[in-house]
């Protein structure tokens, strides 16, 4: 089997890449090893409204489980800060129904001309005269080779495409957030706000989220850095939290997953290969949010694939535009978030209370995360001294 571009993985990154490449006139095959795209979910499903609309100007109501007003941040001592939805970052605004959303994106790619192959797992790269020329797959238990000019690795946190191409994407324990989440049904769920709870007792090196999904449902989850975790700890901690916060709550679904919180990779391309989304560590290290960055990188990769093939140069040099464009779009934010994350890991609960407490007396409702950090710096210059270069 032959095509111009093989996209490995049908998450938001893969589907956007497949759609962009197909719209540019390429013959595209998108592989998904699961039999159902989007299921099981490994996500809290929060996205910023404005950013989502950048990619998808017409929002299908079936994608949206909840439309929230803002975020509430809880310090370890219970102090609560409220931020408005448009300022609270890339994960607050809509709470998606990713089972529906991911399938819709894949269907859009198909409508644009991409072929979709589910239950088809990439197992390695094909090489001809030392050059990458496609992927080896197992499809319904049978080996199938697919030749292509370019392979786009959109294979998520468990990515292997990069490693097969010589790009080391292995995550260190301190650079992965290990997560567990319940979909909880409870009358006390506030459908207007996404909630974030901080503290080393409840979530060492991470945080707990409560993202409402309508109908008294919410994704109640935890992410903690691997270096502070131990076997099964995320599940234990989130079970404790649900019992305390929603004593009458009923868990109707469970989600687990890993999220790269690793900062910017040195390279995300090799001859004939581009990595997008979680596979390229495009996730925000502070929040763990990666849907929008995966989509953004996917679009760029699809467009660059078309140009490189037209120019007859799919080498790493020929794919440089991909590196340049995604870095220009998101690398500054990724770098900054990584430094914030590294700093926050060092804080005790007392430090966190000192940082967040004084903000309760300020009007932060219209402030974005950077504005808030700037204000925290003003109020706590000593504690935040290490971050001074990020605050200016």
Partner 1 sequence: MLDANRYKCCYCGAYVSVCPTCSSMELMETWIEVSQGCKDCSVCTKICPVGALEAEV
Ligand X SMILES: Cc1cc2nc3c(=O)[nH]c(=O)nc-3n(C[C@H](O)[C@H](O)[C@H](O)COP(=O)(O)OP(=O)(O)OC[C@H]3O[C@@H](n4cnc5c(N)ncnc54)[C@H](O)[C@@H]3O)c2cc1C
Which residues from 170-189 bind ligand X, rule CB under 6 A? 179, 181
Q: Residue 288 and residue 192: Cα distance in Å, rounded? A: 21
Give contact residues for partner 1 (rule: CB under 8 A).
Answer: 33-35, 40, 42, 121, 156-160, 163-164, 169-173, 176, 178-180, 226, 229-235, 254-258, 260
Establish how many alpha carbons lie within 13 A of residue 93's alpha carbon, considering only the half-sphere containing its beta carbon.
17
Question: Counting Cβ atoms within 10 Å, is residue 266 exposed (0-12), middle (13-18) or buried (19+)?
Answer: exposed
Question: Counting Cβ atoms within 10 Å, is residue 83 exposed (0-12), middle (13-18) or buried (19+)?
Answer: buried
**From the list 5, 6, 7, 14, which residue makes contact with ligand X (rule: CB under 6 A)?**
14
The SS3 call for residue 347 is: coil
Q: Residue 5 and residue 101: Cα distance in Å, rounded? A: 23
Q: Tokens for 239?
A: 């079970």
**From the list 76, 89, 134, 156, which residue makes contact with ligand X (rule: CB under 6 A)?**
156
> Is residue 384 close enough to count as binding ligand X by CB under 6 A?
no
Bridge partners of residue 180, in order along the sequence: 222, 256
Q: Residue 32 and residue 309: Cα distance in Å, rounded? A: 23
Total residues at the site for ligand X (CB under 6 A)? 42
* Min dist. Cβ of residue 90 to partner 1 (A): 21
Order of strands, sheet of 46-47, starting from the edge strand that comes earlier in the sequence: 46-47, 94-96, 64-67
Closer to ligand X by CB, 33 or 336: give it: 33
Residue 30: name the closest of 123, 128, 146, 133 by CA.
146
Contact track, ligand X, 81-100, x by CB under 6 A: ----------x---------
**Angle, CA 183 vertex, CA 50 and CA 239 arms, to 5°:** 120
* Min dist. Cβ of residue 277 to partner 1 (A): 13
> Is residue 302 close enough to count as binding ligand X by CB under 6 A?
no
Which residues from 244-273 bind ligand X, rule CB under 6 A? 255, 257-259
Q: Which does 171 bind (CB under 5 to 8 A by kind): partner 1, ligand X, none?
A: partner 1
Q: Which does 314 bind (CB under 5 to 8 A by kind): ligand X, partner 1, none?
A: none
Closer to partner 1 by CB, 25 or 173: give it: 173
Q: Which does 163 bind (CB under 5 to 8 A by kind): partner 1, ligand X, none?
A: partner 1
**From the list 52, 294, 330, 372, which residue makes contact with ligand X (rule: CB under 6 A)?**
294
- Region from 68-76, 151-159, 244-252, 262-270 binding ligand X, contact rule CB under 6 A: 151-159
Residue 153: name the closest of 39, 10, 293 by CA.
10
Q: Which does 10 bind (CB under 5 to 8 A by kind): ligand X, partner 1, none?
A: ligand X
43 DSSP assignment = S
**From the list 46, 134, 249, 318, which residue makes contact with ligand X (rule: CB under 6 A)?**
46
């Amino acid at each position: 089997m032959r095509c111009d571009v093989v996209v490995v993985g049908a998450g938001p990154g893969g589907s956007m890449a497949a759609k962009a490449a197909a719209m540019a006139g390429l013959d595209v095959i998108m592989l998904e090893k699961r039999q159902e795209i989007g299921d099981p979910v490994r996500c809290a499903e929060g996205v910023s409204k404005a950013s989502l609309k950048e990619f998808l100007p017409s929002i299908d109501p079936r994608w949206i489980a909840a439309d929230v007003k803002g975020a509430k941040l809880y310090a370890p001592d219970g102090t609560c800060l409220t931020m408005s939805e448009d300022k609270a970052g890339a994960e607050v605004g809509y709470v998606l129904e990713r089972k529906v959303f991911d399938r819709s994106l894949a269907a859009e790619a198909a409508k644009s001309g991409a072929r979709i192959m589910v239950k088809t797992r990439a197992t390695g790269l094909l090489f001809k005269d030392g050059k990458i020329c496609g992927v080896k797959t197992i499809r319904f238990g049978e080996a199938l080779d697919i030749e292509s000019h370019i392979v786009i690795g959109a294979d998520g946190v468990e990515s292997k495409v990069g490693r097969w191409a010589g790009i080391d994407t292995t995550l260190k324990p301190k650079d992965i957030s290990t997560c567990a989440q319940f979909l909880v049904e409870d009358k006390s769920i506030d459908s207007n706000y996404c909630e974030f709870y901080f503290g080393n007792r409840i979530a060492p090196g991470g945080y707990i989220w409560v993202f409402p999904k309508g109908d008294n449902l919410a994704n109640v989850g935890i992410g903690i850095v691997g270096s502070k975790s131990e076997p099964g700890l995320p599940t234990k901690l989130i079970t404790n939290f649900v019992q305390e916060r929603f004593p009458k709550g009923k868990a109707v679904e469970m989600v687990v997953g890993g999220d790269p919180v690793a900062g910017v990779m040195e390279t995300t391309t090799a001859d004939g290969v581009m990595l997008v989304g979680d596979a390229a560590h495009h996730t925000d290290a502070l929040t763990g949010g990666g849907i929008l960055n995966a989509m953004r990188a996917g679009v760029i990769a699809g467009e660059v694939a078309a140009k490189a093939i037209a120019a007859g140069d799919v080498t790493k040099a020929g794919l440089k535009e991909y590196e340049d464009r995604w870095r220009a779009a998101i690398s500054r934010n990724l770098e900054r978030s990584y430094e914030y994350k590294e700093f926050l890991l060092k804080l005790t609960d007392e430090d966190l209370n000192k940082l967040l407490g004084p903000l309760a007396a300020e009007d932060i409702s219209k402030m974005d995360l950077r504005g808030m950090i700037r204000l925290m710096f003003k109020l706590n210059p000593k504690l935040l001294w290490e971050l001074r270069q990020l605050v200016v």
